């Protein structure tokens, strides 16, 4: 792995922001932990290396302009997460402690196509396996990002060029048919940004092999639809064990953010 730019610049972030929690939050499968506490993020053809030399101060490998153009939105820095945590009903002790435990997680605004394909692949697969598949797709179809040793996630057109042997090497199992179907249909992911939450979910779930869970992950992690909460086995277990089976997130403001706290808390305390 080549070093990218040195961490020559810095940025101050006063709101909740935790690099390690972001890495293991299950939103994105391409965040890497490099030596010396440096975290690497990839968005499109941009690579950002970042560390925290002192609380609230982050060393970064890009200039101010790139940080404000690309990464500010990616890290959802205009949203006040501390305020969202403070609005949780103190009587809801489980959610209150989950928010404390997950403090520092933010909803990453990822590339919609990469996010969709990653979550189609993620069905019934563990995180290391998903990570390996995504990385392999990037190396086979993506262009290298200038001297970083990293590859961009290929668009549908480039993925159409994969041979059957390449597809087999990704080890996607039954999910391969779903991914290939998305590649063939090549949906206009950008225009979906204009749809309402309901319209977006309809559009996504109309795709082969895309159910409510994959669609809501894509809506939340690529289109910042923070009122939508993906419900997976971890969240279902929280509902069952803590709330008598009730879905306490449905229809709630910032449900997607609260879901991230519950998901993180359930996993680290299990």
Query: pLDDT digit string (tens) for 104-125?
Result: 999 999 999 999 999 999 988 8
Burial 139-154 (b: 16+ CB within 10 A, else e): ebbbeebeebebbbbb
Flag whether 53 is in a domain.
yes
What six digits make up the tokens of 261?
């706290």
Domains in the chain: how many in total? 2
Closest CA to 106 of 198, 173, 208, 25: 25
What's the pLDDT at 270?
75
Q: Are 57 and 152 members of one domain?
A: no
CA dist 216 and 231 (Å) reads 8
In a domain, 103, yes or no: no
Name the residue range of residue 47's domain. Answer: 1-78
Q: How far apart are CA 110 and CA 97, in angstroms?
A: 27
Rounded Cα distance, 205 and 112, in Å: 14
Same domain, 14 and 58: yes
Does 204 map to a domain? yes
Residue 150: CATH number of its domain:
1.10.340.30
Q: In this structure, are 55 and 116 located in the same domain?
A: no
Q: What is the CATH number of the domain that holds 60?
A: 3.30.310.260
> Predicted confidence band at 63 (pLDDT cuts at 50, 70, 90)?
very high
The average pLDDT across 161-171 equals: 97
Say if 231 falls within a structural domain: no
Tell me the pLDDT tens digit for each residue of 225-254. 999 999 999 999 999 999 999 999 999 999
What DSSP designation does 230 have? -
- Which two tokens mark 66? 């790139």
Cβ 106 vs Cβ 79: under 8 Å: yes
Domain end among 182, 204, 223:
223
Q: Is the pLDDT assigned to residue 78 strictly greater than 50?
A: yes
Q: Is residue 173 in some structural domain?
A: yes
């Amino acid at each position: 792995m080549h070093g990218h730019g040195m961490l020559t610049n810095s940025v101050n972030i006063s709101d909740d922001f935790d690099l390690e929690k972001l890495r293991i939050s299950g939103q994105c499968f391409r965040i890497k932990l490099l030596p010396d506490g440096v975290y690497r993020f990839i968005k499109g053809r941009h690579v950002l290396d970042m560390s925290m030399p002192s609380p609230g101060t982050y060393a970064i490998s890009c200039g101010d302009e790139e940080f404000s153009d690309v990464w500010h939105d990616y890290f959802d820095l205009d949203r006040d997460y501390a305020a969202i945590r403070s609005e949780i009903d103190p009587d809801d002790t489980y959610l209150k402690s989950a928010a404390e435990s997950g403090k520092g997680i933010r909803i990453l605004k990822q590339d919609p196509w990469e996010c969709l394909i990653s979550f189609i692949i993620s069905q019934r697969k563990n995180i290391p396996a998903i990570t390996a598949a995504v990385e392999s797709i990037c190396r086979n179809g993506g262009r290298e990002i200038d001297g970083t040793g990293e590859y961009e996630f290929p668009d549908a057109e480039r993925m159409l060029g994969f041979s059957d042997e390449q597809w087999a090497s990704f080890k996607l199992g039954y999910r391969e048919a779903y991914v290939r179907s998305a590649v063939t249909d090549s949906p206009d992911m950008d225009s979906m940004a204009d749809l309402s939450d309901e319209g977006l979910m309809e559009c996504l779930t109309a795709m082969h092999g895309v159910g409510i869970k994959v669609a809501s992950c894509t809506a939340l992690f690529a289109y910042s639809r923070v009122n939508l909460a993906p419900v997976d086995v971890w969240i279902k277990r929280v509902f069952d064990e803590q709330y008598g089976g009730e879905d306490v997130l449905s229809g709630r403001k910032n449900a997607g953010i609260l879901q991230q706290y519950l998901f993180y808390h359930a996993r680290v305390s299990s």
